[in-house]
């Protein structure tokens, strides 16, 4: 669906690249996550893919059609949710969606239904200047799906959302993928990426430093071990041990503790995406 | 059409909630009140009164001997009220799109909505067209209401048609020019001084209007100069001015149409190169 080859971008033209030699492919109907801290170049890549920034060096194509040959009508197929919501603050939520729907020459969603989907039905007639950060984020997301896109760009879609609302938005994104929509998502939230993405790329200082499925990354960089907490012999204090289940001794010890009924908690010790990122870059995602 | 309607609706609703309607209604009420409050005398009335009071037949006789060269066709003197409306039709009605198109652009920049617009199929042409149509329409509406509240019922249908056409071409020019100027500023604070200065300079032709002997050729190229005399002729002698020796109305149509075309091309190019390319708005 999306093919990116050797993408570079230099904002000031002084040889200081915000994005440097970035290449990746996004298969149709998948969710592709760009994971990295603020300033790592995630949004720059997204802006280059959507022509918000002019392409300087490298190739981007959609279904084999180069970006420079893409006509404005192509945007009938594209939805974009911005990190900064970019809403008409003097208009209500409903008016914002109606306006946006009017910009497309394809069938669009019912704005009231979409507002209901993102939990903003009650605030439909309030001016967006009165919305909280999370409400604006939800409205921006709602706007991005108004034209029933088959290509969805989401820039930090969970930013400012409470866990319940985030779960609702994640469910919609998953539904879109199931319906064949291709999603390109930037985030610095490892849980979102882990939960939703079919593939993730770690971006650091403008370069991709690792790229694979979340599962493969965790297997490659994590440990096949469990951390176990159990009550000691006299039933007083709790103790914990890390056991490597591919070792015969540890496996026997694990069985011994579980059969004795002393185990309180068991945690698998696979690496989180954040731990992998830290291991690769020496810095965190936030 | 759907895109244009959506953009115009959003722009109008935004302006309405920026107290645009209240400002315009208040301005209209004050203007109409001013029209009916000033005495409808002429300069000639005052001149006659002074001459009578001085009772100086010798002076009058000497003045009658002086050769007189008319700058245009001799006309009936214009009353104060009509003079007021002529000036307001140019400097109030036509300033409206210049100011409000800028105000709305800065609101869009502040909200960041242009960035969201750029990832839709809308495009630069529709964006510009929607703005120009809306503000030209509102200019015509405001001008018509102002005339109806003052001198409009005394105008012939031909004068109305001539006035509507003039408002149309002038509205298109000034809205495109207003957008073009505003595009070079990031906020209303930056625009305010240059924008208001430009408006003040555009009012220089009032001096020529009040003192017709001051008409250097450079001032006749001001769009407001042409508009002022075109409005005067439409309201006083009607479309007959089209065929008159000065041909102020016909000449103004042509001049304003050329300016409107040039301003539209400039605004389109600037919108495409500046507004639709800015990386972080």
Whether chain A has a CB inside 8 Å of the CB on B12: the answer is no
Yes or no: say if B7 and B104 are a contact pair by the CB < 8 Å rule.
Answer: no
Which H, E and C letters describe A96-142, residue by residue?
HHHHHHCCCCCCCCCHHHHHHHCCCHHHCCCEHHHCCHHHHHHHHHH
**pLDDT at residue B44, rounded to an integer:** 53
**pLDDT at residue B259, rounded to an integer:** 92
Whether residue A27 is predicted with pLDDT greater than 80 in this model: the reply is yes
Q: What percent of chain B has pLDDT over 70?
A: 87
**Which of chain A's residues have a Cβ under 8 Å away from the Cβ of B3?**
102-103, 105
Mutate to test the interface with B, among A99, A126, A130, A152 (most CBs of B within 10 A): A99
| CA dist., res. B171 & res. B169, Å (int) | 5
Q: Kind of pairing, strands A199-204 and A182-187?
A: unpaired
Whether residue A86 is predicted with pLDDT greater than 50 in this model: the reply is yes
| CA dist., res. B71 & res. B15, Å (int) | 44
**pLDDT at residue B135, rounded to an integer:** 93
Per residue in B63-120, pLDDT tens? 778 877 766 666 677 777 888 888 888 888 878 889 999 999 999 998 889 999 999 9
Yes or no: say if A23 and A6 are a contact pair by the CB < 8 Å rule.
Answer: yes
Exposed/middle/buried for residue A207 (C-beta within 10 Å: 0-12, 13-18, 19+):
middle
The strands making up A65-66's β-sheet, listed across from edge to edge, are A19-26, A2-9, A57-62, A65-66
**Which of chain B's residues have a Cβ under 8 Å away from the Cβ of A95?**
10, 13
Yes or no: say if B70 and B149 are a contact pair by the CB < 8 Å rule.
Answer: no
| CA dist., res. B271 & res. B265, Å (int) | 10
A interface with B, Cβ–Cβ < 8 A, is 11, 47, 50-54, 72-76, 78, 80, 82, 84-91, 95, 98-105, 127, 143, 147, 153
Nearest-Cα residue of chain B relative to residue A49: B119
Per residue in B135-173, pLDDT tens? 999 999 999 999 998 887 888 898 899 899 999 999 999
Whether chain A has a CB inside 8 Å of the CB on B122: the answer is yes
Average pLDDT over residues B9-13: 87
Per residue in A236-265, pLDDT tens? 778 888 888 778 888 888 888 888 888 888
**pLDDT at residue B245, rounded to an integer:** 45
Average pLDDT, chain B: 83
Kindly report the nearest CA distance between residue B99 and chain A, in angstroms: 19
**Which of chain B's residues have a Cβ under 8 Å away from the Cβ of A82?**
112, 115-116
- Find all residues with CB under 8 Å of B237, minimum gap 6, and list them: B75, B244
Mutate to test the interface with B, among A11, A12, A50, A90 (most CBs of B within 10 A): A90
Whether chain A has a CB inside 8 Å of the CB on B225: the answer is no
| CA dist., res. A65 & res. A70, Å (int) | 7
| CA dist., res. B120 & res. B129, Å (int) | 16
Per residue in B206-227, pLDDT tens? 888 888 778 888 888 898 888 8
| CA dist., res. A80 & res. A83, Å (int) | 10
Q: Structure tokens of B117?
A: 């617009």
Q: Structure tokens of A9?
A: 């971008």
Task: For residue A92, give the DSSP letter.
Answer: B
- For A58: left if phi > 0, alpha if psi spans -120 to 50, otherwise beta; the answer is left
Residue carrying the six token digits 């190019």: B269
**pLDDT at residue B267, rounded to an integer:** 94
Kindly report the nearest CA distance between residue B263 and chain A, in angstroms: 25
Q: Render B200-267 in DSSP notation, one character per residue.
A: HHHTTHHHHHHSTT---GGGGGSHHHHHHHHHHHHHHTGGGGGTSSS-HHHHHHHHHHHHHHHHHHHH
Q: Structure tokens of A63?
A: 């279904």
What is residue A31's three-state secondary structure?
strand
Average pLDDT, chain A: 88
**Which of chain A's residues have a Cβ under 8 Å away from the Cβ of B21?**
none
**Which of chain A's residues have a Cβ under 8 Å away from the Cβ of B121?**
72-76, 103-105
| CA dist., res. A37 & res. A156, Å (int) | 11
Q: Render B93-158 in DSSP notation, one character per residue.
A: TTHHHHHHHHHHHHHHHHHTHHHHHHTSS-HHHHHHHHHHHHHHHHHHHHHHHHHHHTTGGGS-HH
**pLDDT at residue B155, rounded to an integer:** 85
**pLDDT at residue B281, rounded to an integer:** 39
A87 contacts B111? CB cut-off 8 A: yes
Yes or no: say if A246 and A219 are a contact pair by the CB < 8 Å rule.
Answer: no
Domain ranges of chain B: 2-42+79-275
ipTM: 0.83
Whether residue A116 is predicted with pLDDT greater than 50 in this model: the reply is yes
What is residue A215's three-state secondary structure?
helix
Average pLDDT over residues B245-271: 83
Whether residue A230 is predicted with pLDDT greater than 90 in this model: the reply is no
| CA dist., res. A56 & res. A11, Å (int) | 10
Yes or no: say if A184 and A199 are a contact pair by the CB < 8 Å rule.
Answer: no
Number of CB atoms found within 10 A of residue A75's CB: 24
Yes or no: say if A34 and A203 are a contact pair by the CB < 8 Å rule.
Answer: yes
Dihedral sign computed on CA atoms, order A216, A218, A222, A224: negative
**DSSP strands (E only) in chain A:** 2-9, 19-26, 31-35, 57-62, 65-66, 78-81, 151-155, 182-187, 199-204, 207-212, 225-231, 238-244, 263-268
Whether residue B49 is predicted with pLDDT greater than 60 in this model: the reply is no
- Find all residues with CB under 8 Å of A190, minimum gap 6, and list them: A35, A272, A273, A274, A277, A285
Average pLDDT over residues B241-259: 69
Q: Nearest Cα to A279, choosing from A210, A216, A233?
A: A210
- Find all residues with CB under 8 Å of B131, minimum gap 6, and list them: B7, B11, B101, B104, B175, B179
Mutate to test the interface with B, among A41, A62, A102, A148 (most CBs of B within 10 A): A102
Kindly report the nearest CA distance between residue A178 and chain B, in angstroms: 24
Nearest-Cα residue of chain A relative to residue B114: A86
A87 contacts B113? CB cut-off 8 A: yes
The strands making up A199-204's β-sheet, listed across from edge to edge, are A78-81, A151-155, A182-187, A31-35, A199-204, A207-212
Kindly report the nearest CA distance between residue B117 and chain A, in angstroms: 8
Could you say which of 3.40.50.80, 2.30.30.90, 2.40.40.20, 3.40.50.300 is the CATH number of the domain covering A2-218?
3.40.50.300
A82 contacts B115? CB cut-off 8 A: yes
Least confident among A156-165, A204-213, B50-59, B219-228? B50-59
Dihedral sign computed on CA atoms, order B90, B91, B94, B98: positive
Task: For residue B78, give the DSSP letter.
Answer: P
Mutate to test the interface with B, among A88, A98, A153 (most CBs of B within 10 A): A88
């Amino acid at each position: 669906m999306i093919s990116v080859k050797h993408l570079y971008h230099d904002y000031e033209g002084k040889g200081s690249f915000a994005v440097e030699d970035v290449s990746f492919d996004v298969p149709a109907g998948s969710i592709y996550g760009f994971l990295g801290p603020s300033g790592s170049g995630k949004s720059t890549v997204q802006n280059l893919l959507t022509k918000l920034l002019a392409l300087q060096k490298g190739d981007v194509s959609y279904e084999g059609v180069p970006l420079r040959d893409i006509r404005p009508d192509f945007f009938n197929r594209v939805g974009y949710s911005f990190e900064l919501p970019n809403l008409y603050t003097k208009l209500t939520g409903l008016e914002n969606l109606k306006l946006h729907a009017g910009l497309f020459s394809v069938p669009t969603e019912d704005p009231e239904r979409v507002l209901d989907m993102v939990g903003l039905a009650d605030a439909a007639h309030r001016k967006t200047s009165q919305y909280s950060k999370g409400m604006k984020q939800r409205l921006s997301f709602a706007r991005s799906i108004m034209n029933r896109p088959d290509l969805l760009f989401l820039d930090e879609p969970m930013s400012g959302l409470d866990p319940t609302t985030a779960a609702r938005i994640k469910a919609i994104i998953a539904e879109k993928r199931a319906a064949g929509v291709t999603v390109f998502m930037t985030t610095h939230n490892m849980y979102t990426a882990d939960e939703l993405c079919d593939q993730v790329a770690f971006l650091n200082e403008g370069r991709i430093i690792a790229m694979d499925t979340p599962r493969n990354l965790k297997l490659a960089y994590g440990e096949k071990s469990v951390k176990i907490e159990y009550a000691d012999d006299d039933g007083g204090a709790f103790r914990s041990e890390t056991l490597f289940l591919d070792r015969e001794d540890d496996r026997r010890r694990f069985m011994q503790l579980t059969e004795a009924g002393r185990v309180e908690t068991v945690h698998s010790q696979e690496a989180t995406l954040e731990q992998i990122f830290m291991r690769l870059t020496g810095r965190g995602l936030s | 059409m759907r895109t244009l309607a959506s953009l115009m609706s959003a722009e109008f609703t935004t302006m309405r909630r920026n107290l645009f309607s209240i400002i315009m209604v208040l301005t209209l009420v004050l203007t109409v009140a001013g029209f009916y409050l000033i005495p409808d005398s002429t300069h000639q009335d005052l001149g006659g009164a002074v001459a009578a009071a001085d009772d100086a037949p010798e002076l009058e006789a000497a003045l009658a001997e002086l050769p007189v060269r008319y700058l245009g066709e001799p006309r009936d003197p214009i009353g104060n009220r009509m003079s007021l409306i002529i000036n307001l039709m140019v400097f109030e009605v036509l300033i409206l799109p210049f100011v409000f198109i800028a105000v709305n652009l800065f609101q869009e920049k502040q909200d960041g909505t242009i960035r969201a617009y750029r990832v839709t199929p809308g495009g630069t042409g529709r964006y510009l067209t929607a703005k120009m149509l809306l503000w030209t329409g509102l200019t015509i509406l405001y001008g018509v209401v102002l005339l109806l509240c003052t001198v409009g019922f005394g105008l012939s249908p031909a004068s109305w048609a001539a006035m509507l056409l003039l408002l149309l071409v002038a509205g298109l020019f000034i809205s495109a020019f207003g957008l073009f100027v505003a595009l070079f500023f990031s906020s209303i604070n930056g625009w305010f001084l240059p924008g208001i200065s430009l408006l003040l300079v555009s009012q220089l032709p009032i001096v020529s209007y009040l003192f017709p002997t001051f008409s250097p050729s450079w001032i006749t190229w001001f769009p407001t100069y042409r508009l002022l005399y075109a409005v005067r002729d439409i309201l006083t002698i009607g479309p007959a001015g089209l065929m008159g020796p000065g041909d102020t109305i016909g000449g103004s149509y042509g001049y304003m149409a050329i300016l409107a075309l040039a301003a539209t091309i400039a605004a389109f190019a600037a919108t495409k190169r500046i507004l639709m390319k800015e990386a972080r708005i």
